[in-house]
């Protein structure tokens, strides 16, 4: 027997999201069931719904920034109890046997089928996975995160994707005191990058399309802020950075941005635009620069990030919305008019 829960789903690439119901599996021995209280809106939800990464399995229920309260645990569960504040990010399972899984890098699972996405994937029980724009979910305890008491659930939700997606490369490429870090795009991901890089002690520069959000950027922890619509930015900042994190959801002139790295600097691509990126040789090879990619983070590192954010009082800037506002929120994200993450109050579902 399954449980029927409310959800918001898209039936096609062009139809608006609308209210529906979905089934959640019974709580197995290793499962945690929780009531979803808040779900963040990630730009990846929009890429998926609109079919920009290929046709998803409609109806699709997206949402992979999920925070809530445990309502039931399976007989073998040891990590969580009823009433705990928990979260789920971009994946709900993986093979558990490949080198990546054994090293706690489940997001890079190389087992059959790879990691199992929180939505638009097939679970180990053969049923489709449905994401966080819903009122409850059942997930294996090993893929559930503990939300520290000091972080309210609405602010915790965006950490599960936006937070970890920036924390992981900042750690991997050693952001910290003495490091020049730039963040391209001050949206959901970008603003978390600014806050986390600042908390790690790096010197942080925002590269945004305009200066419209400059006051916010400086308040969030940036040391410098430039408009990329101004060609002078690219001459002024040439060779400045050790690390650039690109969070832009569209294609940029990669050559121009690579030119902002110093020798041996690294540009990490985090945005996942619909079209392939085009990369010229000379700005890359000329100063032995690296172009890298990074995708979310593993379970252990996500827990580390949550604890880091609690310790350093780092939380996202959010606009909590009712579920019925989701289609309008999508339009605003697409227009770069989000400050800085929409979070759905799922009690309005």
With the CA atoms of 232, 235, 238 and 244 taken in that order, what torsion angle do they form, in degrees rounded to the nearest 10?
20
Size (the chain), residues: 349
Residue 186 contact, options ligand NAP, Zn ion, none, Cβ 5-8 Å cut-off depending on partner type:
ligand NAP
272 touches, from Zn ion, ligand NAP, none (C-beta below 5 to 8 Å by class): ligand NAP
CA distance 321 to 19: 15
Only segment of 160-168, 192-200, 263-271, 324-332 that touches Zn ion (CB under 5 A): 160-168
Contact 189, 165 (CB under 8 A): yes
Q: Which is nearer to Zn ion, 94 or 266 (CB)?
A: 94
Q: Which residues bind ligand NAP (CB under 6 A)?
A: 42-44, 47, 161, 165, 185-190, 208-209, 213, 247-250, 270-273, 294-296, 333, 336, 338
Question: Which of ligand NAP, Zn ion, none interacts with 247 (beta carbon under 5 to 8 A by kind)?
Answer: ligand NAP
From residue 254, how far is each of 46, 230, 248, 267, 293 by CA, in Å?
23, 16, 11, 9, 13
- Cα separation of the two ends of the chain: 23
- Quick one: what does residue 109 bind among Zn ion, ligand NAP, none, with the CB cut-off 5 to 8 Å set by partner type? Zn ion
Let me know: does 246 contact 269? Beta carbons within 8 Å: yes
Structure tokens, 281:
């040789």
Closest approach, Cβ 116 to ligand NAP, in A, equals 16
Does position 98 bind Zn ion by CB under 5 A?
yes
Binding site partner of 181, from Zn ion, ligand NAP, none, Cβ cut-off 5-8 A by kind: none
- The entry of ligand NAP, Zn ion, none that residue 101 binds, CB within 5 to 8 Å by partner kind: Zn ion
Q: CB of 340: closest distance to ligand NAP in angstroms?
A: 7
Q: How many CB atoms lie within 10 A of CB 306?
A: 22
| Strand pairing class (241-246; 224-227) | unpaired
By the rule CB under 5 A, 237 interacts with Zn ion: no
Q: Closest residue to ligand NAP, Cβ-based?
A: 187
The rounded distance, in Å, linking the Cα atoms of 110 and 201 is 34
Identity of the residue, 56 or 188, whose beta carbon is nearer to ligand NAP in the bound complex: 188
Q: Given the structure tokens 């040391």, which residue do they identify?
A: 223
Reduced DSSP (H G I as helix, E B as strand, rest coil) percent helix, strand, coil of the chain, to 5: 30, 30, 45
Give which of Zn ion, ligand NAP, none residue 254 binds (C-beta under 5 to 8 Å, depending on kind). none
Complex with ligand NAP: residue 214 or 287, whichever CB lies closer: 214
Span of 126-134, 156-164, 168-176, 341-349 interacting with Zn ion by CB under 5 A = 156-164
Omega before residue 261 within 30° of 0, cis: no
For position 42 contacting Zn ion by CB under 5 A, the verdict is yes
Part of the chain binding Zn ion (CB under 5 A), chosen from 90-98, 216-224, 262-270, 322-330: 90-98
Residue 128 or 273: the one with the smaller Cβ distance to ligand NAP is 273
What number of other Cβ atoms are within 10 A of residue 241's Cβ?
A: 23
Binding partner at 94 among Zn ion, ligand NAP, none, C-beta below 5 to 8 Å by kind: Zn ion
Enter the tokens of residue 254.
């990669």
Kindly state the smallest distance separating residue 112's Cβ from Zn ion, in Å. Answer: 9
CA dist 84 and 88 (Å) reads 13
Residue 257's contacts (CB-CB under 8 Å, 6 or more residues apart) are: 184, 207, 244, 246, 267
Residues that bind Zn ion (CB under 5 A): 42, 44, 94-95, 98, 101, 109, 111, 161
């Amino acid at each position: 027997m399954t449980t029927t829960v409310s959800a918001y789903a898209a039936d096609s690439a062009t139809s608006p999201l609308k209210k529906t119901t979905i089934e959640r599996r019974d709580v197995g021995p290793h499962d945690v069931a929780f009531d979803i209280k808040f779900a963040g809106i990630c730009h990846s939800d929009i890429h998926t719904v609109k079919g920009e990464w290929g046709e998803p399995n409609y109806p699709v229920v997206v949402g992979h920034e999920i925070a809530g309260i445990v309502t039931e645990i399976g007989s073998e569960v040891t990590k969580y109890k009823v009433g705990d504040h928990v979260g789920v990010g971009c994946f709900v399972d993986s093979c558990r046997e490949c080198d990546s899984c054994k090293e706690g890098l489940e997001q890079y699972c190389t087992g059959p089928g790879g990691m199992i996405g929180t939505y638009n994937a097939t679970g180990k029980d053969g049923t489709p996975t449905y994401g966080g724009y819903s009122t409850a979910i059942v997930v294996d305890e090993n893929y559930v995160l503990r939300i520290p008491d000091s972080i309210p659930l609405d602010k915790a939700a965006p950490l599960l994707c936006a937070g970890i997606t920036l924390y992981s490369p900042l750690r991997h490429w050693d952001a910290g005191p003495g490091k020049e870090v730039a963040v391209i795009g001050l949206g959901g991901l970008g603003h978390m990058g600014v806050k986390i890089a600042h908390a790690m002690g790096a010197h942080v520069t925002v590269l945004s399309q305009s200066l419209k959000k400059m006051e916010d950027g400086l308040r969030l922890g940036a040391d410098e802020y430039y408009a990329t619509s101004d060609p002078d930015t690219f001459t002024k900042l040439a060779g400045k950075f050790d690390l650039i994190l690109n969070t832009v959801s569209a294609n940029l002139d990669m050559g121009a941005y690579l030119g902002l790295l110093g020798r041996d600097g690294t540009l990490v691509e985090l945005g996942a635009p619909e079209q392939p990126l085009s990369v010229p040789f000379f700005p890359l090879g000329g100063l032995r620069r690296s172009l890298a990619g990074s995708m979310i983070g593993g379970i252990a590192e996500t827990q580390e990030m949550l604890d880091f954010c609690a310790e350093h009082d780092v939380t996202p800037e959010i606009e909590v919305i009712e579920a019925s506002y989701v289609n309008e929120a999508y339009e605003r994200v697409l227009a770069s008019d989000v400050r800085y993450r929409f979070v759905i109050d799922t009690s309005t579902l």
